[in-house]
Amino acid sequence: GAPSAAAASSSSPVLRRYYSSESTPERKVAVLGAAGGIGQPLALLMKLNPLVSKLSLYDIAGTPGVAADVGHINTRSEVSGYAGEDQLRQALEGCDLVIIPAGVPRKPGMTRDDLFNINAGIVQSLCTAIAKYCPHALVNMISNPVNSTVPIAAEVFKKARTYDEKRLFGVTTLDVVRAKTFYAGKANVPVAKVNVPVVGGHAGITILPLFSQVTPSANLADEDIKALTKRTQDGGTEVVEAKAGKGSATLSMAYAGALFADACLKGLNGVPDVVECSYVQSSITELPFFASKVRLGKNGVEEVLGLGPLSDFEKEGLEALKPELKSSIEKGIKFANQS
């Protein structure tokens, strides 16, 4: 009868393998900078993600310890630690997704652009290795200044003739996470229900939350929206100052990075309608890179979605951010073509 047929098919090793590989394909994910403040909790969160089958943890030092520690967690992925440039090839080969939180964070009084001199070189060398060892991987760039490091990565990939604009993402998810949290607090709505796009870039005034599109809408006063916008833009600085010299956002960033990586993996796996904000190559404004809602799919970016209707306040914010974002993009492109 039916029950025994079902039992027979579920005990068939061939069938079981077929079904399990259909539902959860093998996915290798690397974290570059995995021993750092973001890297460690991000490694933990990626170890908890059932979509990951191999987790590759790379840093210039310290990764064997992080890998041994995280590797004892009894979840799906197999964890390997790699330390030093001569292990970068092994860390990257076969990767579907590479997440980059490598580089120095801000201290009080610093802007993200103050990190440029150190982080630009780090990103350039890591992307050179990605072009060589896993040219088809999606790249999630966390290292700041994101407004410039994404254009640097694009130039490196162009030189290596591996550039595919669909596979390069600046991670701006933390701006969205913050906008949701701050809005829910002010509007007194359940935070889990809040949705709000954040567009532009990832530094100061280039971060533009579109509270006119927030759901559920609580019809906050203009001055409240202004204050929420400012708090979202300064969210990173709020953490840098509270940590008083001990770094910038690491735990909330790891959460945001894990959320965005999960969305990328879902897209790769063919889950429909995965939409997240990200800083990508774009033609929705005159700037070559811009953050907006992006539909994720089997090849990375499936569609860059438009901004939708903006309030007058947001229109002003959009015009105000363009010169700064433009110059950060140009700075990145110039750096990559000079060195």
DSSP output for 34-63:
TTSTTHHHHHHHHHT-TT-SEEEEEESSSH
What angle do the packed helices 222-233 and 235-243 form, to 10 degrees? 50
What gap in Å lies between CA 20 and CA 300, rounded to an integer?
Answer: 23
| Part of the chain binding ligand NAI (CB under 6 A), chosen from 97-105, 293-301, 303-311, 312-320 | 97-105
278 three-state secondary structure: strand
Shortest distance (Å) from residue 199 CB to ligand NAI: 15
Size of the site for ligand NAI (CB under 6 A): 32
Looking at residues 146 to 205 of the shown chain, list those that interact with ligand NAI (rule: CB under 6 A).
146, 171, 174, 202
333 known ligand binder? no
38 known ligand binder? yes
- Alpha-carbon Rg for the chain in angstroms: 21
What gap in Å lies between CA 215 and CA 211, rounded to an integer?
Answer: 9
DSSP E strands in 63-195: the ranges are 78-83, 97-100, 138-141, 168-170
Q: Is residue 206 involved in binding ligand NAI (CB under 6 A)?
A: no
Asked if 287 contacts 328 with a C-beta cutoff of 8 angstroms, the reply is no
Closer Cβ to ligand NAI, 265 or 291, answer by number:
291
Q: Is residue 67 involved in binding ligand NAI (CB under 6 A)?
A: no
Asked if 231 contacts 238 with a C-beta cutoff of 8 angstroms, the reply is yes
Q: Is residue 250 involved in binding ligand NAI (CB under 6 A)?
A: yes
Question: Considering only residues 51, 79, 122, 156, which one is a binding residue for ligand NAI as defined by CB under 6 A?
Answer: 122
* Annotation says 202 is catalytic: yes
Residues annotated within the binding site for NAD(+) are: 33-39, 59, 119, 142-144, 253
Residues annotated within the binding site are: 33-39, 59, 106, 112, 119, 142-144, 178, 253
Task: List residues near ligand NAI by CB under 6 A.
Answer: 32-33, 35-39, 59-60, 101-106, 115, 119, 122, 125-126, 142-144, 146, 171, 174, 202, 247-250, 253
